[in-house]
Structure 1
């Protein structure tokens, strides 16, 4: 879902997200809309899908993060699918190309800065390629640009993925058969990402544990 970057861009995602958590207040139930989805892809991307997460180890009932599939759009001149994360003051949008041949991240946006990746970062393999022992790696040129179009930093990101296991896990959202993946990242633009993360991915569900250590608590759709 880098020269030396500004302090804003050097903060790992969870640290940034946790900095602005609003105090809980008692309000009327919000008006909500739902988008019926009759079919969910292996890599879920259908507009209207939503997932909620809490940091691993945090008590149920805390203010969640919400990830939404925002639908098709264009990023740096290429057709992509947008995914937006909000909650606790967070606001981030990822721009991905998603299909049977895998998932590729072209870039993402936080308030005030857009990050572009060239070539696109391969986040997941072709649907039929999953197996324990699978690994892939690559590198991307990273460009950070401010809202006024000024380039803030450029550098190189390197990544490696290793599929370590396939197992059943229990989460607040239910029980899932997941692929357990270790993701290792290095960059020279101030550390946009934690260096090593573990991800749990379930086909037709999405990330059950995100690279930022968020566990799935609920979703608004069924899955296989």
Structure 2
């Protein structure tokens, strides 16, 4: 099967200009952080399942409110193991939406119009739920005043909650929602990409096969909130 997502959400580790390791945040945030955590200062630490605990981690951090291409957003920073990426999301009663991403110190910018609905409203996240849509993905390289459009295409996507399972990762044991995410090129139904997510309310993604898929994805090792 041909792959359609190299320009979408897969890491471009081989092209990274440097190996940036995440800063350590030792502050512990106490108290509830919401069904879909988005509070500034939250940190999650991940490793590929086959990595050793002492290996360099990948850290996801909530930087805080900002704007992305003129829209209000919350910036999430994913860094480590040669990666430096910012995700721009909106989190509210209607769920979680991905507006776009920036890679390589904002050299590469990806926009989704309309935003990708990553998660539904809280009450709608149940076993058997399905959601999705169609989005236009535009990827540009920006260097100073020079803008080069790398890709401009339409993608269909679908999320499906397959079930709930008790899983154990280095961060502990959780009863997660197992979610399948499929991306398709409507011009050629044979071109598609599939990913798996494990989500636990109030904590976030326990496992994701989106990034570092060649190493088995990323599993949660630690977090700075209880």
Kindly indicate whether the alpha-carbon contact (under 8 Å) linking 1:21 and 1:88 is maintained by their aligned counterparts in 2. Answer: no
Whole-Å separation in 1 of the counterparts to 2:222 and 2:18 = 20
Provide the residue aligned with 2:189 in structure 1.
Answer: none
Provide the residue aligned with 1:48 in structure 2.
Answer: 41
CA-CA distance at 1:18 after TM superposition: 9.5
Quote the RMSD (CA, aligned, Å). Answer: 2.7
Whole-Å separation in 1 of the counterparts to 2:14 and 2:65 = 25
Whole-Å separation in 2 of the counterparts to 1:125 and 1:102 = 4
Whole-Å separation in 2 of the counterparts to 1:99 and 1:154 = 28
Kindly indicate whether the alpha-carbon contact (under 8 Å) linking 1:17 and 1:87 is maintained by their aligned counterparts in 2. Answer: no
TM-score by length of 1: 0.82
Provide the residue aligned with 1:152 in structure 2.
Answer: 150
1:199-222 Cα offsets, whole Å, 9 max, x none, are 000000000002332000000001
**Structure 2: runs of 5+ lacking an equivalent:** 187-191, 212-216
Q: Identify, as 1 or 2, the structure richer in strand.
A: 2
1:128 aligns with one of 123, 128, 146: 123
Determine helix, strand or coil for the equivalent of 2:13.
helix
Kindly indicate whether the alpha-carbon contact (under 8 Å) linking 1:42 and 1:127 is maintained by their aligned counterparts in 2. Answer: yes
Determine helix, strand or coil for the equivalent of 2:132.
strand
1:94 aligns with one of 87, 90, 115: 87
CA-CA distance at 1:88 after TM superposition: 1.4
Provide the residue aligned with 2:166 in structure 1.
Answer: 168
CA-CA distance at 1:15 after TM superposition: 5.6
Whole-Å separation in 1 of the counterparts to 2:185 and 2:221 = 31
12-21 or 113-122, which moves further after superposition? 12-21
